[in-house]
């Protein structure tokens, strides 16, 4: 892994927000939190693997509290083709979005493939189609949530889904230097409203590498 740099990291802290007549407190509104606290409640980072297979491919990670939804997902965005043949044939600009493979870990476990296809007919129109495997619709049985499965695996001594100690050491060796740098330089987190999608800096970080977070997608609306 390439060492993390500050320019590839965005940190944030949520502030008070009023939604539908209800006021939600900010992080520093908690009586146990100092008013001048710089503790992040959100982080986003771009990581890179230095080998031939993954050269130039950004791995973007983000996590945060008090966001607009609670979700854990893995999103693979495929690169666009160098040229758009549909523009040439249709004599007008036809924007083609990226194909995506999305694995929803929780809630609403699902595997979704989003692809662009031509609408049947004599015209030249593209639209996004979704192949959606929603586990709750496919399997008519109770699906335990992530923590239920975690507790059961711990009781049964099942270790295949748990992180190994050497992997944990490798992760801390990657993040510890930049965490120390954030603390020493007293970097002020970017503020974002309670219940929002997080700080705008995270969107700029993704755009820097030509990708997006896909905040507007969920298995409920069929991606």
Tens-place pLDDT, residues 9-51: 999 999 999 988 899 999 999 999 999 999 999 999 999 999 9
> pTM of the prediction?
0.80
Distance CA 208, CA 75 (A): 17
Which of 5-9, 10-14, 111-115, 162-166 has the highest average model confidence (pLDDT)?
A: 10-14
Task: Give the residue among 214, 8, 207 at the shortest CA–CA distance from 104.
Answer: 214
Q: Which residues contact 214 (CB under 8 A, 6 or more apart)?
A: 75, 77, 100, 102
Contact 44, 198 (CB under 8 A): yes
Tens-place pLDDT, residues 8-18: 999 999 999 99
Q: In order of start, what are the domains of the chain with their CATH numbers?
A: 6-221 (3.30.360.10)
Pairing of strands 190-193, 9-15: parallel
> What is the token pair recorded at 141?
């049985």
- Count Cβ neighbours within 10 Å for each residue of 65-76 and write b for 16 or more, e otherwise: ebbeeeeebebe
């Amino acid at each position: 892994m390439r060492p993390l740099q500050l320019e590839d990291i965005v940190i944030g802290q949520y502030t008070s927000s009023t939604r539908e007549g209800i006021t939600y407190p900010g992080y520093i509104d908690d009586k146990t939190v100092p008013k001048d606290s710089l503790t992040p409640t959100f982080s986003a980072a771009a990581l890179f693997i230095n080998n031939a297979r993954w050269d130039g491919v950004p791995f973007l990670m983000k996590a945060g509290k008090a966001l607009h939804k609670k979700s854990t997902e893995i999103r693979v965005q495929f690169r666009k083709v160098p040229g758009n043949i549909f523009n040439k044939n249709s004599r007008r600009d036809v924007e083609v979005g990226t194909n995506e493979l999305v694995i929803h870990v929780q809630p609403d476990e699902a595997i979704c493939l989003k692809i662009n296809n031509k609408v049947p007919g004599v015209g030249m129109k593209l639209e996004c189609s979704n192949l959606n495997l929603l586990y709750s619709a496919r399997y008519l049985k109770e699906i335990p949530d992530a923590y239920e499965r975690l507790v059961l695996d711990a009781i049964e001594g099942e270790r295949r889904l748990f992180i190994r100690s050497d992997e944990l050491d490798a992760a801390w060796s990657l993040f510890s230097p930049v965490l120390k740098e954030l603390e020493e330089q007293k970097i002020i987190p970017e503020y974002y409203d309670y219940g929002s999608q997080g700080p705008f800096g995270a969107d700029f970080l993704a755009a820097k590498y030509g990708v997006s977070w896909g905040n507007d997608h969920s298995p409920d609306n069929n991606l």
